[in-house]
């Protein structure tokens, strides 16, 4: 898997995350600027938090305007075609899951590159993948979705463990990446299909 393919999927993941932000913000009747802000926060919030905690500054999306153009494209397309976009639920779900997996792996790799331990790296991967959505929900004054009901953050954690195990087994990085993303897609699809949920504390 050449590095460019990772980049392409990262951009697609950014697009899908931005659409999810637009969709939340539109349902709260925010105006176009409010919608754009939520789209940005959803798409780049997780990576921003990760970079700031690790100490990678300026934060990475600030150095590559393609992320910005992608988010504006998502907002622009949504302005005209949001109902149609939302009908592509199955497609969006797959790209959202690919985004989730890729963001988790990229975050994990960045943390390892900064000399952090595997445990912290898995946490940073999970932060990258899920905190955009958390910030989206906080800004919309809702309880973050990831706190209940669906498996989401836990899938990133399991995906991160699988990724590190495969790397440890000296399987080449791109094979590992593809395998992990597939694993995450399957795990998430199963979790949605069979309505898996996690126990609560009483």
Region of 9-17, 89-97, 145-153, 174-182 interacting with its own copies (CB under 8 A): 145-153
Residue of 18, 26, 105, 177 interacting with its own copies (CB under 8 A): 26
As given in the structure block, the two tokens for residue 167 are 């790397």
Closest by CA to 185, choosing from 111, 123, 110, 177, is: 177
As given in the structure block, the two tokens for residue 8 are 């392409």
Contact 53, 124 (CB under 8 A): yes
Contact 33, 14 (CB under 8 A): no
Residue 3 or 63 with smaller CB distance to its own copies: 63
As given in the structure block, the two tokens for residue 41 are 């926060």
Smallest separation, CB 50 to its own copies (Å):
10
Residue 85 or 105 with smaller CB distance to its own copies: 85
Smallest separation, CB 6 to its own copies (Å):
23
Residue of 6, 73, 138, 171 interacting with its own copies (CB under 8 A): 138
Residue 154 in contact with its own copies, rule: CB under 8 A: yes
Residue 113 in contact with its own copies, rule: CB under 8 A: no
Distance of CA 48 to the CA centre of its chain: 12
Residue 143's CB: how many other CB atoms inside 10 A?
9
Residue 83 in contact with its own copies, rule: CB under 8 A: yes
Tell whether the torsion through CA atoms of 124, 9, 113 and 181 is positive or negative. Answer: positive
Residue of 2, 4, 29, 193 interacting with its own copies (CB under 8 A): 29
Burial profile 163-174: b = 16 or more Cβ within 10 angstroms, e = fewer: bbebbeeeeeee
Give the footprint of its own copies on this chain (CB under 8 A): 22, 25-26, 28-35, 37-38, 48, 52-55, 57-59, 62-63, 65, 68, 78-79, 82-83, 114, 116-117, 119-120, 123, 134, 138-144, 146-149, 151-154, 157, 197-202
């Amino acid at each position: 898997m050449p590095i460019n393919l990772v980049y392409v999927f990262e951009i697609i993941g950014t697009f899908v995350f931005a659409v999810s932000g637009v969709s939340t913000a539109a349902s709260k009747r925010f105006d176009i600027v409010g919608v754009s802000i939520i789209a940005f926060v959803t798409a780049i919030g997780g990576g921003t938090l990760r970079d700031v905690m690790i100490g990678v500054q300026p934060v990475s999306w600030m150095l590559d305007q393609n992320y910005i153009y992608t988010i504006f494209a998502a907002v622009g397309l949504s302005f005209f075609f949001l109902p149609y976009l939302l009908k592509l639920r199955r497609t969006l779900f797959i790209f959202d899951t690919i985004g989730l997996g890729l963001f988790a792996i990229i975050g994990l790799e960045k943390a390892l590159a900064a000399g952090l331990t595997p445990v912290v790296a898995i946490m940073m991967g999970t932060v990258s993948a899920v905190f955009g959505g958390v910030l989206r929900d906080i800004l919309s004054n809702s309880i973050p979705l990831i706190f209940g009901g669906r498996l989401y953050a836990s899938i990133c954690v399991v995906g991160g463990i699988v990724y590190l195990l495969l790397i440890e087994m000296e399987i080449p990085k791109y094979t590992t990446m593809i395998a992990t993303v597939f694993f995450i897609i399957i795990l998430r699809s199963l979790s949605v299909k069979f309505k898996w949920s996690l126990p609560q504390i009483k």
